Amino acid sequence: NAGVTQTPKFQVLKTGQSMTLQCAQDMNHNSMYWYRQDPGMGLRLIYYSASEGTTDKGEVPNGYNVSRLNKREFSLRLESAAPSQTSVYFCASRGQVSSYEQYFGPGTRLTVT
Amino acid sequence: GENVEQHPSTLSVQEGDSAVIKCTYSDSASNYFPWYKQELGKGPQLIIDIRSNVGEKKDQRIAVTLNKTAKHFSLHITETQPEDSAVYFCAAGPIGLGYSTLTFGKGTMLLVSP
């Protein structure tokens, strides 16, 4: 069991470039999340997917799009990167309704210059 | 929406001392309160959680207390060890029949000196 995997681990973009962050889980979890972590700001929810085929905005969705490709995969896309999107991005997943623990991936460190 | 405040932002203790981190929340609908530990370069990992029908929960050296009336909950670590050094996050959210999300505090960096 690899748990939650994220690619890439590190990425440097120039302002205006686009990229997709990939996330996959092998725990057969229904729900998946994308967070960003900035110094002194904690974890802020960008988008989430309660189940395959559904996505919803979180606290800070502007500038991002997501795709729940299938039950395993949930990707985050930056269409036109901005320096304000420099952050560490975490993907997480959660199992059945009765289980509330979120399992986090190792993160992607993104720098936008 | 929910607002979670966490204090202190940094906490330094000597090995063997106790450490306490406090959080407050604003939404009365929140009934689930987990604590996550994040080691350097890794993703957060759940260490303990509590639901609003319970006032206290303990797991070896860590314990969490909840005061629903005052809307605050705390993490207590006893007999701290250097490997307890990490960033700790509290969170709050409603759980039940429907779907829910968590709101996280801003984190506390705990440093345990040998």
Of B45, B105, B107, nearest to A104 by CB-CB distance is B45
Quick one: average pLDDT of B66-93?
96
Of B41, B45, B95, nearest to A100 by CB-CB distance is B95
Judged by a CB distance cut-off of 8 A, whether residue A31 touches chain B is yes
Residue B96 has pLDDT above 70, yes or no: no
Judged by a CB distance cut-off of 8 A, whether residue B3 touches chain A is no
pLDDT at position B52, please?
83
Three-state SS annotation for A49-112: ECCCCCCEECCCCCCEEEEECCCCEEEEEECCCCHHHCEEEEEEEECCCCCCCEEECCCEEEEE
**B2-40 pLDDT, tens digit each:** 999 999 999 999 999 999 999 999 999 999 999 999 999
Digits of tens for pLDDT over chain A (113 positions)? Answer: 789 999 999 999 999 999 999 999 999 998 999 999 998 889 999 999 988 889 999 999 999 999 998 999 999 999 999 999 999 999 999 976 667 889 999 999 999 99
Question: Range with the lowest mean pLDDT among B43-52, B78-87, B92-101, B104-113?
Answer: B92-101
Task: Report whether B57 contacts B10 (CB < 8 A).
Answer: no
As to burial, measured by CB atoms within 10 angstroms (0-12 exposed, 13-18 middle, 19+ buried), residue B42 is: middle
Higher pLDDT, B98 or B3: B3
From chain B, the residues in CB contact with A90 under 8 A are 43-44
pLDDT at position A99, please?
72
With an 8 Å Cβ cutoff, are B106 and A41 in contact? yes
Mean of pLDDT over chain B? 94
**Which of residues 10 through 69 in chain B touch A, CB cutoff 8 A?**
32, 34, 36, 41-46, 49
From chain B, the residues in CB contact with A10 under 8 A are none
Q: How many CB atoms lie within 10 A of CB B101?
A: 19
The nearest CA of chain B is from the CA of A81 a distance in Å of 23
Of B42, B97, B102, nearest to A102 by CB-CB distance is B102
As to burial, measured by CB atoms within 10 angstroms (0-12 exposed, 13-18 middle, 19+ buried), residue B22 is: middle
